[in-house]
Amino acid sequence: MLLLLFSLLWSPEAGATVVEVSVLTASGPRVLRTWDAPVLKELSKKGTISAQDLIFEKSTENLDLNDKADVDLVTLAGTGGRISRVPRFMIWRGSLKFKLERDGGLSSVTSSAPGMVPADFFKVQGIHKIELSRASVLYPGTRLVVRTNPAASRGEKMFTQACMACHSLNPAPKIEATLLNEMYLKDFAKKHRPTGGYLLDSRALRGLLAYREALASEKIGVKSSR
């Protein structure tokens, strides 16, 4: 009896899950593909990165190029109502990895770039939904405008597509574009030091500061630092 109970608890299908991948549109989520446990289990044998790449590649193969290009954010929904939002470039560049369990379920996300972001922040247990979306759909209050200063446009794009992804969720501290300043951003850069050097380098910092100055010139709750 105990042996039967033990085998049931450790059965490969005991924690089997189904993972649904959808894209968030202005009219609501549209399911792209549903991955069942047996398929995920087979993918888990191929290794974390190859399985992860295949999940996104196969899920988005019916999206046209414009829709694919418009995907800024990846939202992961796990058990217990926990969600985590990840900038799209972190997933596609392999900065964050899904962990596939023996039963094929997606259990968590771990960072492969130590120091860029706290790895624990992205650990979502029992992932059952992955939602791809545009920043402008998820954050309807934001807007990317054409600015005379290219650096300001670059800074605004980074703020809405990367910074807000994490900093609109707990436990990350909330940030507002109007509060950006050089001292704050330099301290922020120290806490988000990537191994690849592509997240908050000097060019990115200049763009974010230029974005702040653009907001000041538009009188959107910002005083110019000049």
Give me the domain span that covers residue 48: 15-137
Question: Is 128 in the same domain as 150?
Answer: no
38 & 117 share domain = yes
Which of 114 and 142 is assigned the larger pLDDT? 142
Residues 89 and 198 in one domain: no
- Do the strands 19-25 and 106-111 form a parallel or antiparallel pair, or are they unpaired? unpaired
Same domain, 77 and 184: no
Q: Alpha carbon 201 to chain centroid distance?
A: 19
CB 129 within 8 A of CB 22: yes
Query: DSSP string spanning 35-93?
Result: E-HHHHHHHHTT-HHHHHHHHHHHHSTTS-HHHHHH--EEEEE-GGG-EEEEEHHHHHT
Q: Are residues 90 and 156 in the same domain?
A: no
**Residue 223 belongs to some domain of the structure:** no
| β-pair partners for 111 | 96
> What pTM did the predictor assign?
0.76
pLDDT digits (tens, 9 = 90+) for 22-47: 999 888 899 999 999 899 988 888 88
